[in-house]
Structure formats: C-alpha cells, structure tokens
A and B are shown apart, each in its own frame.
Chain A
C-alpha cells in the first residue's frame, strides 16, 4: 500500500466494514428467527403396513453413533425400508461426535429423522427431551411379522428412555451388567465364581497366592466399580435404595447397603487384591491385563466387553458373565437378579423433516429379521426377545447373557442418575483415588454426596422424577 494515502483509505474501509459488521449479525439473527421448526413433513396415508403414514419417495436421514456396533445394522434395516416403501431410501450417516455435529442442526430446527444418541459425545437427554417425539406409538404398532412390538420386548426396556412419563428414547441393544471371568482359567485352577462379596474376598486371597489379582481397573473406567457397588447395593436394599439415588436425595450415599459394599471394596483394595496403577492406565490396556495377560480374575462391566476386547482376548478364554455380587442371602432381590438396561438410545426429533420415516425405520429394526441380524453379527442381544439360539452363535459370553436373563426373569433393575445428569466425569476422579487406596470409605461417600447435592441444588438443571 502506498503510504501517502493509506490512512484515509483504511478509515474508509473500516467504516464500510463496520456497516458490514452490524449488518451481518442482524441478518443472522433474522435467519435464526425464521427457522425453528414446524416439522413433521409430508405424510402419506396411514395403513396397517404403514402405521405412521410415511409418504412415498421419502429419504430418511439417520445419524448413527459409529461405535462398537458400527452402523451396518441400521443400513440393513434401511434396505428393508426401501423395499417396503416405493421410491424411498434411508441415508445412514455414521458419527462419533453426535453432540457437536448435531448441535447446530437442533438449534437450526432441521435435525435428522433418527438419531442413535450414544457414545462419549452423546447429547444429554435431559437437554433435548422436550424436542423429541414420544415413541410409545412405535412399540404399540405391529412389527413386520404382524405381532404387536411391545409384546416381543424384554421387560423394563422402555424405562431408561422414559423421562417424566414421556418415552423419548428407544434403547435398542440390551446390555447385561455382570462380573466377567474366564471359565477355562477358573476350571484349571479349581476356582468357583463368587456370588457374594464375602466369597469374592476369599477368591481374592486365592488369587493372591496364585500371583494374580482379583480386580483391575483403568482410569477412564474407574466408575465401572461404582456401577458394581450401586448394583450390589440395589440387590440388597431394593428399589427404595435405587430411588433415593436416582432422585438425588440428601444422604443417599450413606445408605447402609452401599456403605457395606464400599467397605468390602476397601478391604479388597487394602489387601492388595486390586492391581495397583490403574489410575494411570488407559482403560482398554487395563482390560487387556484381564482378558489377554490374565493378571486379574474378574472384571465388572456391561456385555459390550466381549466385542470391545475381541482382538485382545487370550485364546480359549471362554468369557463368561455372572450376576453382580450380592451382599447377603436375604437381599430384596435374589442372587440371580441382574441389572439389565437397554443401551444405544434411538430418538426421533419432533421437528425432523420426516419423523414418520424415523419411526418406521425403528419399527423395522424391531422386527424379527433385523433384530436377529443384529444378534448374529454383533454377538449381542437386542431388546427383542428370542433372537439368540442356544449355541449363542458360538460365543460363551452371549450364551451366559441369555442364561443370566432367563435366570433373572422379572428380577431386573437399572439406575439412571449418572447418565441423566452427566455425573460420570466428576465421579471418575473420586473412584480413581479410592481404587488407588488414596481415600477412605467416608471420604468417598462425602465426595459422591457432594456431586449429588451440587446437582440437586442447582436450579438451572431440570430434574427428572423417577418412580
């Protein structure tokens, strides 16, 4: 720029730019006012084969979490969808960053028709539940084989997706929580899988004398032990204990069964039954110390563990699950009771272009053909009953899951507060310290209670009442 005239011109430009700077934001504000949805989109005629009235030539936009289960099972249902509705197709977009990818679409009023809101970057349901369709309509519809879908599902699977009576998230995959071990290793050493904490501590002593540990943990998954503790306590104290935690009651962490479980865990830690160093170990590396190196006997986890460690499991490991440990013989729930919760929450935004298409795709996924395909290719059961044959497609873990589910019968439960309010990150800190032996039961209890109280006392966070 020639120096002699630069100042004048620069000023002119700043002036012009200033006008622009005022203009653009106004334009954007107006645009955002104009958006914000009417939604629903074009609908066709509702018939028995088309219960939600999907219009012909609809393109269903599905954003699916691309995690342990991949996205091909949705594409599979999508191809059935295309056959059912002439000229229609399903566009499946895989994503691992659900929250940051979909945030602008929610604000702009053009969210996709179906979302699998899962993974570490999932959107907290508490923040979007008002913008989602009630999916009761879907499970009241008939599946492709002509049976009412609700009758084909396991008990209680709608519970985790129900917020204040509105069923907004259909959790598709059935997750069974348990304690996992190698049946072959136990057989070789003559060990019996424990059913109570006392038995577990005895087994810990045997493991120690064999130069192994009872438990192992990794830094990102320290709260798996919180899940184990809460589930054990619920088996002892029943629904009353669970509701106190879910409804953020003051003093809920001091309930007696929880304290007893914490004390048993503390004993295991102090006796050296827990492999030290977990607070600095990446969690899959820690899990490989159990499944590949076999340095630890037991690992508490959900049934995704088999898929997750597929490539890092010792040959002939025979991964098997047992119900989470009980405290005594006379708990409110029998020893066979399990926490089974449906995972992979699918939801349909109300302002989507074709929310009917989203629901229809879900209906197809819940039909026998698609559900069986899932169980077979992912070695995990869906919420649809009777899709796993007796041989579990050759997986010992899948067979043990089916056994745990049938042994438990109606004695299944789950809890919600951790996911509903996104507490995991804060709790991880406490659990890493506790499992390292760095805090007492009282300190752990205090810390957990503070996290609960902080949310209970924050008026800006909408609360869910659990019953």
Chain B
C-alpha cells in the first residue's frame, strides 16, 4: 500500500527526536509533536470524518426511526416502534421488500455464473495442447465485455429504457424485423416480464467487471495446477468446476456479497427504467419508497425506519452468505 511508506518510516524519525529511554518493548512513550501530528493526520482526521459523516448519520437515522418526524419541522415525538409496525402493515413496503429479496437471490448467482463462464473461456478455454490459454481473440473479448462497466449506471438505465420502448425501441423493431408480432409489446409495462428485463440490464452491466475480477483470480492460480489436471485427463468443464472454482472461491464470495448489496439497493436502475415501481409494483424497491416517503410525503421518521430495516436485512444477507460459503468451502475441502 502506498500510505505504508511514510507511516512505516515514522518510528525512525521518532527515535531521533525522542528521549534516549525510547522503549524497549512496551514502555511509556513520550508525546512528541511528531507523533501527535502523525496521529492527528493519519488517524484522527479520517476517524473524525468517518464518525461525523457515516456513523453519526446512521445513529441519527436509527433515532429518527423511532419518531414521527415529518422531516420539515424541528419538532417530533418519540413513538417507539410504531414505524416498524406500520412497515409490515404497509403493502408497498412488503412488496418492495419482496422485490429486493428476489433481486438479491437472482442477480448475484446469474451474474457470477456468466462471469465465471466467460472468465474460464478467456483464461483456460483455449486449445488443449501447448501452454494453458484462452480461446482465440480472448484479449479482445475481455476488453469488450468490460465496456458496460465503464458506463455510469444511470446511463445504462436510460439507454435500455429506450431500447425497451414499445413503439420505437430497438428490441421491438428487431423482433418485428424477424416477422414476430411485437408492434406494441411493453417490455417495461407487462407485470410478467418487467422484473426480468430489469435484472437483465443489471446483469449486463456487471458481468464484465466480475469477469475481470475472476480472470485476476484465475491468473493467480499456478499454471502447474491446471497442467497437472490436464495430464490427469480433466476436461474444460470439469477444470472450471473442480479446479478453478475451489481455488478462487474467496473471490466468488466477495463478488456475491457486493452483488447482493447492489441488488438490495438498485435505486439507480429502477429510477431510470421504471420510476414508478413498474407494472403492478413488480420492480418497486425500498430506496424508491424511502425517497417517496421522506421527501414527497413528509414522513421522514417512517422512511428512516425503512432505512434501518434495510440495513438489518443487508447485514443479515451478508452473514448468510458468509455462512453459506463456509459450508461450500468445507464441502469443496478447501477450508483453511
């Protein structure tokens, strides 16, 4: 790490400035200007910023979730857990929570499976003679599939909203060109398909990035391991599932958690594609509700309660994934 340099070299400087009794072991150290300024700059300041702009708002939100604060007046009353009770009687909230959970179940697994498949093709999917390498033109595919990740999420959303347009969208025009009756099919207006269209867009946007992540993981595996497996007669699919996967399972776990957190949010994508929650609220997500209640309907206390609930759900999700992967690693025999 780049910051390690100055920090690491600090004790030497301290030694010069400090008293000759400078500690062997854990003696009491003197507070010199050097040490104090070092701590203030490298620890105090970041910590203070973190506390003021991250932890403190968290605590505030947790407190406001117990109030009937409108968000527009300085006064509020403590109402205990009333907001949390109201949440689970609010149909909008339960629908949004269900949608978020569906997204958190589907998006990570689909993205990771596709990203892993691509990563395998690009690194070890090549000819079975000679050194281990990817399919022909793999460096080209690697760059191309990373493109979507370079585009901001909101732009991805807006582009796809145009593609899905029933009357003039690229998708329907292409289908009509193939002679199919898609003159007015509303991809973002049919309850049965909208959710899947949204998930497709998210997966499309993320596959490239996670593919690159997995490629890096695979490159870290010694080539001898693959060569040994190949000599033992291992095919490409088996190589991917029995050699690659166990060796990069930690990367997969990280990817799973990141994608899960993204799927529990999805605010940007839903605002671009289905700003009203989609047909029959099939793509309504909790961040959209938080915006609606906090700022448009003057129920900031209630919206804070939703935020707190989401934080708990996200933590629970991460915990579950950790547990799941511990079990998987044990089953794969790569528990360290």
Residues of A whose CB lies within 8 Å of any CB of B are 1-2, 4-5, 8-10, 13, 16-17, 20-21, 24-25, 32, 35-36, 99-100, 103, 106-109, 121-124, 126-128, 130-131, 219-220, 275-282, 285, 289, 422, 425-426, 428-429, 432-433, 436, 438, 460
Contact = CB atoms under 8 A, between A and B. Distances in A.
Interface stretch (B40-48, B148-156, B261-269): B40-48
Contact of B184 (A4, A5, A17, A277): A277
Nearest to B281: A429
Contact of A20 (B8, B26, B51, B300): B51
23 contacts: A2-B10, A4-B25, A5-B26, A17-B44, A106-B73, A107-B71, A121-B295, A123-B296, A127-B72, A127-B73, A275-B184, A276-B184, A277-B166, A277-B185, A278-B166, A280-B164, A280-B190, A280-B194, A281-B186, A281-B189, A429-B281, A432-B276, A432-B279
Nearest to B275: A220
Nearest to B42: A1
Contacts of A5: 23, 26, 29
A263 B85 CA distance: 38
A109 B74 CA distance: 8
Given A21-B55, A32-B74, A121-B295, A428 B186 contact: no
B275 to A, nearest CB: 7
Nearest to A14: B47
Nearest to B277: A429
Nearest to B25: A4
A219 B188 contact: yes
A281 B73 contact: no
Contact of B51 (A21, A122, A285): A21
Nearest to A293: B167
Contacts, number: 149
Given A36-B74, A103-B72, A219-B188, A282 B55 contact: no
A146 B268 CA distance: 52
A20 B44 CA distance: 10
Given A35-B74, A282-B161, 5 more contacts: A103-B72, A106-B72, A220-B275, A276-B166, A279-B189
B188 to A, nearest CB: 4
Nearest to A276: B184
Of the listed residues A24, A220, A460, the one surrounded by the most CB atoms of chain B closer than 10 A to its CB is A460
A276 B279 contact: no
A1 B56 CA distance: 27
A57 B311 CA distance: 50
Given A121-B295, A127-B298, A279-B279, A107 B92 contact: no
B70 A127 contact: yes
A5 B11 CA distance: 10
Of the listed residues B51, B68, B71, B299, the one surrounded by the most CB atoms of chain A closer than 10 A to its CB is B71
B297 A436 contact: no
Nearest to A429: B281
B295 A100 contact: yes
B30 to A, nearest CB: 12
A9 B295 contact: no
A281 B51 contact: no
A124 B297 contact: yes
Contact of B186 (A126, A220, A276, A289): A276
Contacts of A276: 166, 184, 186
A106 B185 CA distance: 46
Given A5-B26, A20-B48, A426-B92, A280 B166 contact: yes
Of the listed residues A36, A275, A280, the one surrounded by the most CB atoms of chain B closer than 10 A to its CB is A280
Contacts of A2: 8, 10-11
B56 A24 contact: yes
B296 A422 contact: yes
A285 B190 contact: no
A429 B190 contact: no
Nearest to B10: A2
A137 B48 CA distance: 49
Contacts of B7: 1
B258 interface: no
Contacts of A131: 72-73
B292 interface: yes
